[in-house]
Amino acid sequence: MPDINVKDFGAKGNGVTDDSNAIQQAINSIKNTGGSILFPDGVYKANFTISSSNITVTGTGTIKGSINLYGQVTTTDRYNGGTSNVRIENITIQGDKTRNGINCKWYVGVKITNVRFINCLKAVYFEKVDKTQHCSRFIISNNQLIDCNYGLYVDYIQPTDGGSFVVGDVHFSNNMYESRAGYAGAFGNMYHIYAEGLDGLICKGNTFFFGHTGVEQSNIYINNFNWVIIEGNHLFEAQDSAVICKNGSNLIVTNNNVAWALKYGVYLSNIISGVINGNNLTWKSGEDIQSVGVYLEKSPYFIGNISNNNIFFPGICAIQIKDSSYINIQGNVGRAQYGKSQAVQVDTATTSIMVTQANNQFTNFKA
C-alpha cells in the first residue's frame, strides 16, 4: 500500500492557505488501494473526509480543521464488508473553539492514538444516526486532550431497525485530559465523556482534570447503556458528579480515584447488575460540601455490590440507597467530617429490600 505525502498534492501547510482540496485529492488517490497519508511539519488549514477502508493518517503536522470518518452506509452486516481499518495517529488537531476534532459514522475498527486535540468542541464525536451500532470497535488511547468541551461524545437518536444502542465496543484508555484555562468565562471542558446509547465501553486508566471556567459538569456521564466498565481512572474536580450512569445494565465502576466532586462521587439511577468496588472517593478536609460518596436510586434489580470503597469526608453520607434492592454493602471504609448523617442511608423497606451490610468501618458519622 502506498505512502502519500500531502505536500505532493499541493498542500502548503502554512496555516493560511486552505489545503482541503489538496488533502482530499491525496486521500482519494488511495481509496481503492489503502495506504498512509503523511502530514509533515506544518499547520494544515483543512477539513477532509475519509470514506474507505485501510487508511492511516499520521505525521508531525497540525490539522487546523476536522477529520470526517464517514463510511459507506450498509443495509446488511457492516462488520463483514463494511468500511473499516482506519488509524489516526501522532498528529495534532486544532479546533479553534469552533469545530470537532474527528466526526464518525458508519465505521468499524478504528484506532485513534497519540493525537493531541486542542480547543475542540468535541474531540471524538459519534454523530446522530438512527441505526444500531453504526460505529463499533473503536480504540481511542494515549491521546492528549487540551481545553476541549467534550472528549468522547456519543450522540443518540432512537434506531429505526429495532435496536437500542447506536455505538458499540469502545475502548477509551490512558488518555490525558486537561484544562489549562483556569479562569471564569474561558473556553473549557464540560464533560470528559458524554454518551447515550452505548453498548460496550471500557474506560480505563484515564486522567481527567477540570479547570475553573464555570462550565464544568461531570467527568463521565453515560445514559442508556449495556456493559460499561469504568476502571482505574483519575477523576478530578467535577462541579456536579464524577461518574453518572443512568438507565443501563451490567455496570462495573472499580478502582477509580475520585477527588472533590461537588455532588456525588458515583451517581447511579435505574441500574440492573452493578459492581461498585475499590474506589477511593475523597473530599477536602474542612470543606462543608453537601456531597455523597455513592448514591443509588430507582434500581429495584440492582443485584450487585457496593464494596471495599474508601470514602473520606463526604458532606452528607458515605452511601445512600433509595428505591433500590438486592444490594450487598460490604467492606467499605469511611470517615465523616461533621457527624451530621448516618454512614449508610437506606429508605423504607417497602421500596428497598434485601439490602445487607457487613464488615464496614465508618467513623465520625451520626449514630
- Tens digit of each residue's pLDDT, the chain (367 residues): 578 999 999 999 999 999 999 999 999 999 999 999 999 999 999 999 999 999 999 999 999 999 999 999 987 666 776 899 999 999 999 999 999 999 999 999 999 999 999 999 999 999 999 999 999 999 999 999 999 999 999 999 999 998 999 999 999 999 999 887 767 777 888 999 999 999 999 999 999 999 888 889 999 999 999 999 999 999 999 999 999 999 999 999 999 999 999 999 999 999 999 999 999 999 987 777 789 999 999 999 999 999 999 999 998 999 999 999 999 999 999 999 877 789 999 987 677 889 999 999 999 998 6
pLDDT at 81: 67
pLDDT of residue 348: 75
The answer to the question of residue 26 being in a domain is no
The rounded distance, in Å, linking the Cα atoms of 86 and 84 is: 6
Residue 8 forms part of a structural domain: no
C-alpha pair distances (Å), 37 with each of 19, 32, 112, 192, 203: 14, 14, 14, 29, 29
Per the structure, the count of domains in the chain is: 1
Write the CA distances from 342 to 191, 338, 362, integer angstroms.
31, 11, 9
What is the rounded CA–CA span in Å between residue 38 and residue 354? 59
Containing structural domain, residue 164? 86-365
Residue 148 domain-assigned? yes
CATH number at residue 332: 2.160.20.10
Residue 70 maps to a domain:
no
> How many Å apart are CA 22 and CA 5, to the nearest integer?
11
Distance of alpha carbon 138 from alpha carbon 93, whole angstroms: 18
Domain assignment present for 5: no
pLDDT of residue 76: 67
Whether residue 73 is contained in a domain is answered as no
Write down the pLDDT at residue 186: 77
Global pTM reads: 0.96
Does residue 15 belong to any structural domain of this protein?
Answer: no
Is there a domain that residue 58 lies in? no
User: CA dist 321 to 71, 80, 193, 327, 344, Å?
Assistant: 44, 45, 25, 9, 8
